[in-house]
Structure 1
Amino acid sequence: MSRLIRYLGIVSMLLMSLPGCTDFVEPNQLAYILGTAVDHAEDGEIEISNQIVIPSQLKGSGQGGESGSEDNYLVVSAKGKDVFDATQKIQSKISRRLMTSHRILIAIGEEYFRKQEVSKLFDKLGRDPANNLRDTILLVRGSSAKDFLMLQHPMEYNSSVAAGKELHINGLKGFTSRELVIESLSEGTRPVLPFLQIQEVKYNSKSKKPIASVAGFAVMDKQLKIKGFLNATESSQAIWMIGKGNYGGITIPWKKDEGVVSFRLTHQSRRVHAGNDPTHVVLTVAGQAYLLENTTSLDMSDSVNMIATQKYLNEYIQNEMQLTMNKIQQWGPDVFGIGEYLHRKHPIWWKTQKADWDANFKNIEVKVKATIQLRSTGVTGAQLK
């Protein structure tokens, strides 16, 4: 018995001498970052702003619906030589340790893209294990990214949550920081970024407030410089041709201005094909269409009209997408990944082209084809009168 007591005493002394978790941080000692803004600062510096959630102030809709209240979050900013330098200055201003693993998005101001090298952000994103590389990258056009973070939202807790949901609900995918790094380092594809614009919106009959929403996409070159902006219509076409859209909708005028037809589009996909000549490429978009509204005189219960509608829909989409393709080709960046396809299909030819692909892509003939299947014309045939 005495030997057992002696052994227990020795084990206890050894356990007491072992080092503990001295750097362990309790959840109530953490500051959860939902959004980060990156802006240009003078003298080559960078301004970082973090949107930090205040857990004690978050309330569900059953408790009064405090969505969009400034009490739900705070935005803390600092300038520095790089991201880490600015972040350390932010850390010194708050009482909790910054945590980025729950971050939803990173917003970058348009001025930063024009005056600094965005690729410098990649080292921090890739080297620091605290970054999950799943946060969405957005461009803020016409305003600073910091202004975007400070906006309230009428339906969500803050602007970061709202922007993330807006992309998701519209079927847009593949715009994470990881995707941006991969595409910018690739030889045969260039990135596109969704851009936000801040505009005044009338909430009710008494007040009008600013709100940020996705207005289109920015086409980037190899150095991540902005080559041009696509409007909402061009963006939906480009995203389909790129392969980053799941579903959408389209309203097109019928022949001779005899009304319009509106479709919901699902199962969107695309395919790139080239024969023996790598300078002639066919990009085919496919999907399924469901007629949701018809203001023409056509009776959609007639199979002849259904076939004519499907044919017209394909011709219209094909022509519109060809215009968008030609516009982007004039800018130069291959955001469609055609170079990656040609790299695999014609590797010897590709070796002579890859060094200046942004310029060489302009000389490639890319023909757009559409193969949309009309799956449903609704529960009625002709218009109800």
Structure 2
Amino acid sequence: MIRSVIAISASLLLIFFASGCTDFVEPNQLAFVLGTAFDHDEDGQIEISHQISIPSQINSSSKGSGSGESDGYIVMSAKGRDVLEASQKIQKKLSRRLLTNHRIIIAISEEFFSKNEVDKLFDELGRDPANNQRDITVMIKGKSAKDFLMTKHPLEHLSSIAAGKELHINGMKSYSTRQFIIDSIAEEHRAFVPVLQIQNTQVSRNKKDPMAVLSGYAVLNNKLKIGGILDDIEGSQTAWMSGKDGIRVLTIPWKDGKGNLSFRLTHLKREISSVSSKDPGQIVITVKAQAYLLENTTQLDMSEVSNLLEVQKHLNDQLREELQPTLKKVQNWGPDVFGIGAYLHRHYPSWWRTHKEDWDANFKQINVTIQANVGLRSVGATGGQIKRRK
């Protein structure tokens, strides 16, 4: 009996290993999509473009081939009634299977936001398990999203890789497609996306090349239409007040106007509270961080404790003065990207039930003030300025 069991088990193992995996795809049979673009089409369809890496050409393109034909990638486009139909049209043009698991960037053109219902993209992006949703969603200003994919970068092989690294190195880790979808369907807050713009950039003495650079942030309303676009500085400030990191380097003038102080900020946080437990209409946003003084062009000797305390107080006062107008600007547009509605929903559920309808309009009536609580952790390796001997 035991011999029979052993013989049957051995036979089953042989059959298992001999059969192999019939649906296994080798890496050289895959087309790795690193960037996807969505553009408006006048026929009412969606135009989708995929930036596909060609690993075999990356080495030659990095060495600078004389022909200039080896870019290390291709961009394939197609139109369809929805995302899947357009993607399948691209698939029919390729000899390899499309793989989107390693995608870095999803780029949506400004025109697409204005003329299409962006939420129609969410079903395929959320339903299809082939989409990892860790990729970053950005808006392309002024040009088509396809143009962004086809724009070269002086340091990276692909514009998608360059944009992903730029956003990551600047602390922008809260703009994944998954987070964008969550923000877009929530009642209590609105979506907030980075904006890239193709600009001619001086890359050598006699040469300017088009390059996609971070130029600001788009504030979206409850219908995912553009409520307004902030510049880079205002957008970083709004990101901090929204709890999505933000400013990394801050320069402020000293009180007498003679010299500046520049800080590196870490551990950025924000807290939302109400002035009174009985009045939900009075809200305070407190921004917090740790500051490290890296440059001092004033006459202050930072080895003196009194100067250190005075600088810390001035830093917090200056932050309040700079952040309050930016908050007011966004509030006048209407979309609540700060998450104040989420706070009110949790702490004042009865009040929220009567105000959640048309929250973009009701948000304008909330009195929101800014407080800053930034601690100065270091003044650098020297106290006063290094002075030249006369």
- 2: CA distance between counterparts of 1:229 and 1:137? 16
Residue in structure 2 matched with residue 252 of structure 1 by the alignment: 252
Pair 1:224-2:212 in alignment: no
Q: Are residues 200 and 20 of structure 1, via their aligned partners in 2, closer, same or farther at CA, if it must alter by over 3 Å?
A: same
- 1: CA distance between counterparts of 2:346 and 2:49? 42
Deviation at 1:190, TM superposition (A): 0.5
Q: What residue identity is the alignment partner of 1:208?
A: K
Describe the superposition over 1:309-338 as per-residue Cα deviations: whole angstroms up to 9, x where unpaired: 111110010111111110000000110111
Aligned residue for 1:28, secondary structure, equals helix
Aligned residue for 2:262, secondary structure, equals strand
Residue in structure 1 matched with residue 211 of structure 2 by the alignment: 211
- 2: CA distance between counterparts of 1:65 and 1:245? 37
- 2: CA distance between counterparts of 1:172 and 1:360? 29
Aligned residue for 1:288, secondary structure, equals strand
Alignment of 1:251-330 (within 5 A): 251-274=251-274, 275-276=276-277, 277-330=279-332
Which stretch shows the higher mean deviation, 74-83 or 51-60? Answer: 51-60
Alignment of 1:365-384 (within 5 A): 365-384=367-386
TM-score relative to the length of structure 2: 0.92
- 2: CA distance between counterparts of 1:71 and 1:325? 43
Residue in structure 2 matched with residue 235 of structure 1 by the alignment: 235
Aligned residue for 1:131, secondary structure, equals coil
Residue in structure 2 matched with residue 345 of structure 1 by the alignment: 347
- 2: CA distance between counterparts of 1:202 and 1:184? 37
Describe the superposition over 1:101-131 as per-residue Cα deviations: whole angstroms up to 9, x where unpaired: 1101100000000000000000111111111
- Matching residue within 348, 356, 359 for 1:357: 359
Deviation at 1:247, TM superposition (A): 5.9
Residue in structure 2 matched with residue 144 of structure 1 by the alignment: 144
Residue in structure 1 matched with residue 77 of structure 2 by the alignment: 77
Alignment of 1:44-83 (within 5 A): 44-59=44-59, 64=63, 70-83=70-83
Residue in structure 2 matched with residue 195 of structure 1 by the alignment: 195
Which stretch shows the higher mean deviation, 46-55 or 238-247? Answer: 238-247
Deviation at 1:196, TM superposition (A): 0.2
Residue in structure 1 matched with residue 176 of structure 2 by the alignment: 176
Aligned residue for 1:137, secondary structure, equals strand
Q: What residue identity is the alignment partner of 1:336?
A: F
Q: Are residues 69 and 152 of structure 1, via their aligned partners in 2, closer, same or farther at CA, if it must alter by over 3 Å?
A: farther
Deviation at 1:15, TM superposition (A): 4.7
Q: CA RMSD in A?
A: 2.3
Unpaired runs of at least 5, structure 2: none
Deviation at 1:307, TM superposition (A): 1.1
Give the conservation status (yes or no) of the 8 Å contact 1:108–1:138: yes
Alignment of 1:156-167 (within 5 A): 156-167=156-167
Alignment of 1:32-47 (within 5 A): 32-47=32-47
Deviation at 1:381, TM superposition (A): 2.1
Describe the superposition over 1:68-123 as per-residue Cα deviations: whole angstroms up to 9, x where unpaired: 98521000111111111111111111111101011011000000000000000001
Deviation at 1:21, TM superposition (A): 4.4
Q: What residue identity is the alignment partner of 2:289?
A: G
Deviation at 1:60, TM superposition (A): 9.3
Give the conservation status (yes or no) of the 8 Å contact 1:253–1:260: yes
Deviation at 1:19, TM superposition (A): 8.1
Q: What residue identity is the alignment partner of 1:59?
A: N
Unpaired runs of at least 5, structure 1: none
Deviation at 1:258, TM superposition (A): 1.0
Give the conservation status (yes or no) of the 8 Å contact 1:53–1:72: yes
- 2: CA distance between counterparts of 1:235 and 1:69? 38
Q: What residue identity is the alignment partner of 2:348?
A: H
Deviation at 1:223, TM superposition (A): 0.8
Describe the superposition over 1:346-371 as per-residue Cα deviations: whole angstroms up to 9, x where unpaired: 00000001111110000001111001
Aligned residue for 2:113, secondary structure, equals helix
Aligned residue for 1:58, secondary structure, equals helix
Residue in structure 2 matched with residue 185 of structure 1 by the alignment: 185
Q: Are residues 382 and 21 of structure 1, via their aligned partners in 2, closer, same or farther at CA, if it must alter by over 3 Å?
A: closer
